[in-house]
Amino acid sequence: MENIRDLMAADHRQCDDCFVAVERLVARAAWADADAEFDRLRDAMQNHFDAEEAILFPAFEARTGMSMGPTRVMRGEHDQMRELLDAAKAALDARDADDYSGTAETLLIMMQQHNMKEENILYPMCDQQLATQLETLLAQLKNGISGAMK
Amino acid sequence: MPALLSFDQSPPLAASLRFFLTAPLFAILAGILLLWSGPDSLASRWTPAVLALTHLIAAGFMLQVMLGAMLQILPVVAGANMARPLRVATLVHGAITFGVLFLGAAFLTFSPALFKLAAILLGAGISIFVASAASALYGIASPSPTIQGLKHALAGLTVTVGLGVAMSVSLGWSLDSPLLQLADIHLGWGFVAWGAVLLAAVAYVVVPMFQITPAYPDWFERSFSLSALAAVALWTIAEWLQLDIAMALLGTVVVALAVLFAIVTLDIQRRSKRARFDASQHCWRVAMLSASAAGALWLAASTLTAVGEWPAWPLLCGVLALCGGFMSVIIGMLYKIVPFLIWLHLQNQGQQGRVPAPNMKKIIATRDMDRQMLAHFAACALLLLAVCWPVAFVYPAGIALIVANGWLLLNLMSALAVHRAHLKKIKQVVGAP
């Protein structure tokens, strides 16, 4: 049976793939392609954050009554990653490969440790707590991460 | 669910950093000791200088960083928060730092008083650490191989240090005990049941994460830590009862498991999607190659008489495993952990992006990491040469060890300098501490 953890973790891996694609293009100084790929990365991450903040986290908070717990921390980390994405975009616009690679490295670790907390702790809790509404939630989340909500 | 309530309580920056900054000092001390004791000291693995050197590296460098890293890892990976992490860090760090200094001095002088002090301090320091880590992990399920591995590694650490303390006690109070046999068992537990099991548990997370590789194979993740722990335990029984064939067989299984971990890591690292290898990835690769070489040498020495009778093999094995293996991988990890922790701290202090933190490569520059890494590899190579030709290479090796670790310390200190300077900037801009 499909669950939240598998769906959202698979989306994390897709974001990883976009991240790698940009890094490779920047390393080759293929700037125009890197710009396009970066937009894909930013959209994918943004859609993922939005789906969590608008669908998954409110459902979890309503069910558990924990609005100051893990979801608050995750929202904070989303903001930090949004800032890093902005900084990476600025480095890309300036065609500054060193600055891009430093910001990207920071973003990578930030996003990986964030993913780890979600995949190991938060998503399994969501699967457990939100079992009764799983089907509806999964459909909404799929819609959200694909960007169809916009 | 208690772990979740304090989901974001990663321990304060100072808790881990003190361990990371002390580690290179012990490696520098090891270099100085090598210079001071000269070529004769490398005659066997049992000379006072080699025993002191081994412990300066294993307990002074490796154990320091591993404990500091565990303080960070437990909350993030396992949701296990230690109570009062800063106090635990202060006590443990103080006890093991002085404990290792006394232990090194005890090996050099064979003074019972120093062995007693070392036993008390190291025993107390590690007991506090294990008790705090175990109580943080208590009640946390082990759904992931990493959490399981961390628990097994703690058991490995307890036995390793327990045996070490027992030996120190018997030297300190002149008790009769089979020291040579205990030393081998202590080494097996330290290298494999603590070192390799902890490294593997962390590797499942950080190798795919930093290097964007496929995950470790499921069968490996599920079975490695328990198999390693069980193999070391069975080998210990065989050693203790002096069952020759079982000793040889189980010893081979223990070494083969460590080599298997290295080979699996090299294999998945080969499939990294990153655009190019950085210092951290090179360090991992050299470490795994070095560990495989140590394992191959051990297997050759236990099967081929010609190799087994070569006096240099045990020390070569030790240098390959300890300096080429553990030290390399630790340096590689420090170059990810330290800049990230500093960035995270500055980012949190910077009031929601009003003062953006410098990115990781502005905290420690790529060039500085690359050059220090080469200095470390050179030190490893010179140490290997020094074991084979002590007269010609012991002094270059000692100097190289001092240079490589002085440089490591410098790189870490420069990261702290960036941290301090940026905090000042934040204070100026937002007027907050």
SS (H, E, C) B149-217: HHHHHHHHHHHHHHHHHHHHHHHHCCCCCCHHHHHHHHHHHHHHHHHHHHHHHHHHHHHHHHHCCCCCC
Mean pLDDT of A87-111: 93
Domain assignment present for residue B306? The answer is: no
Inter-CA distances, B383 with A34, B241, B387, Å? 44, 35, 6
Residue-wise pLDDT for B247-302, tens only, equals 999 999 999 999 999 999 999 999 998 888 899 999 999 999 999 999 999 999 99
Chain A: residue whose CA lies nearest to B363: A102
| pLDDT over threshold 90, residue B128 | yes
Considering only the beta carbons, identify the residue of A19, A24, A113 that sits closest to B76: A113
Longest dimension (CA), chain B: 71
Domain assignment present for residue B343? The answer is: yes
Residue-wise pLDDT for B308-342, tens only, equals 999 999 999 999 999 999 999 999 999 999 998 99
Last residue of a domain, one of B140, B156, B188: B140
At position A57, the amino acid (one-letter code) is F
Indicate the length of chain B as a whole number: 433
- Chain A neighbors of B280, CB-CB under 8 A: none
Domain assignment present for residue B345? The answer is: yes
**Geometric angle at alpha carbon B168, from B163 and B169, rounded to 5°:** 95
Distance from CA of B5 to the nearest CA of A (A): 6
Q: Residue B4: what pLDDT?
A: 37
- Chain A neighbors of B336, CB-CB under 8 A: 109
| pLDDT over threshold 80, residue B170 | yes
pLDDT band at B7 (very low <50, low <70, confident <90, very high): very low
Query: Where do the domains of chain A lie, and which CATH numbers do they carry?
Result: 4-145 (1.20.120.520)
Separation CA B370–CA B347 (nearest Å): 26
Instruction: Find out whether B257 and B192 touch, Cβ atoms under 8 Å.
Output: yes
Q: What residue numbers bound the domain in which B416 lies? A: 314-424
Q: Residue B3: what pLDDT?
A: 36
Chain A: residue whose CA lies nearest to B337: A109
Residue A122 corresponds to which tokens in the numbers above? 């938060």
Q: Residue A70: what pLDDT?
A: 86
Residue B296 CB neighbour total at 10 angstroms: 14
More confident residue, B80 or B123: B123
Whole-number mean pLDDT of chain B? 93
**Closest C-alpha among B266, B333, B332, B268 to residue B293:** B266
Q: Residue B353: what pLDDT?
A: 64
pLDDT band at B5 (very low <50, low <70, confident <90, very high): very low
Three-state SS across chain A?
CCCHHHHHHHHHHHHHHHHHHHHHHHHCCCHHHHHHHHHHHHHHHHHHHHHHHHHHHHHHHHHHCCCCCHHHHHHHHHHHHHHHHHHHHHHHHCCCHHHHHHHHHHHHHHHHHHHHHHHHHHHHHHHHHCHHHHHHHHHHHHHHHCCCCC
Considering only the beta carbons, identify the residue of B336, B353, B356 that sits closest to A109: B336
Instruction: Find out whether B291 and B258 touch, Cβ atoms under 8 Å.
Output: yes
Q: Does A101 touch chain B (CB under 8 A)?
A: yes
| Total number of domains constituting chain B | 2
Q: Residue B432: what pLDDT?
A: 52
Distance from CA of A144 to the nearest CA of B (A): 25
Last residue of a domain, one of B140, B157, B190: B140
- Chain B neighbors of A76, CB-CB under 8 A: 8
Residue-wise pLDDT for B215-247, tens only, equals 999 999 999 999 999 999 999 999 999 999 999
Last residue of a domain, one of B140, B156, B179: B140
Q: Residue B2: what pLDDT?
A: 32
Separation CA A42–CA A36 (nearest Å): 10
At position A86, the amino acid (one-letter code) is D
pLDDT band at B202 (very low <50, low <70, confident <90, very high): very high
Least confident of B48-62, B129-143, B403-417: B129-143
DSSP single-letter state for residue B143: -
Least confident of B86-100, B378-392, B416-430: B416-430
Residues in Cβ contact with B297 at an 8 Å cutoff, skipping those fewer than 6 apart: B307, B313, B316, B317, B320
Residue A7 corresponds to which tokens in the numbers above? 């769906």
ipTM score assigned to the predicted complex: 0.84
Mean pLDDT of B404-422: 97
Query: Best mutation site among B7, B148, B150, B366 for testing chain A: the one with the most A CBs within 10 Å?
Result: B7
Q: Does A2 touch chain B (CB under 8 A)?
A: no
Please tell me which of A83-87, B206-210, B341-345, B400-404 the model is most confident about, judged by mean pLDDT. Answer: B400-404
Domain assignment present for residue B189? The answer is: no
Distance from CA of A113 to the nearest CA of B (A): 7
pLDDT band at B361 (very low <50, low <70, confident <90, very high): very high
**Closest C-alpha among B68, B47, B15, B120 to residue B330:** B68
Q: Residue B407: what pLDDT?
A: 98
Residue A13 corresponds to which tokens in the numbers above? 């891996």
3-state secondary structure of B136: helix
Considering only the beta carbons, identify the residue of B144, B340, B353 that sits closest to A120: B144
- Chain B neighbors of A16, CB-CB under 8 A: 212, 273
Distance from CA of B356 to the nearest CA of A (A): 8
Instruction: Find out whether A44 and A18 touch, Cβ atoms under 8 Å.
Output: yes
**Closest C-alpha among B31, B30, B41, B33 to residue B400:** B31
Domain assignment present for residue B156? The answer is: no
Domain assignment present for residue B74? The answer is: yes
Domain assignment present for residue B159? The answer is: no
Distance from CA of A70 to the nearest CA of B (A): 6
Residue-wise pLDDT for A19-59, tens only, equals 999 999 999 999 999 999 999 999 999 999 999 999 999 99
Residue B49 corresponds to which tokens in the numbers above? 């200088």
Domain assignment present for residue B327? The answer is: yes
Of chain B, the end-to-end C-alpha distance in Å amounts to: 34
Considering only the beta carbons, identify the residue of B77, B344, B366 that sits closest to A116: B77
- Provide the percentage of residues in chain B whose pLDDT is more than 90: 81
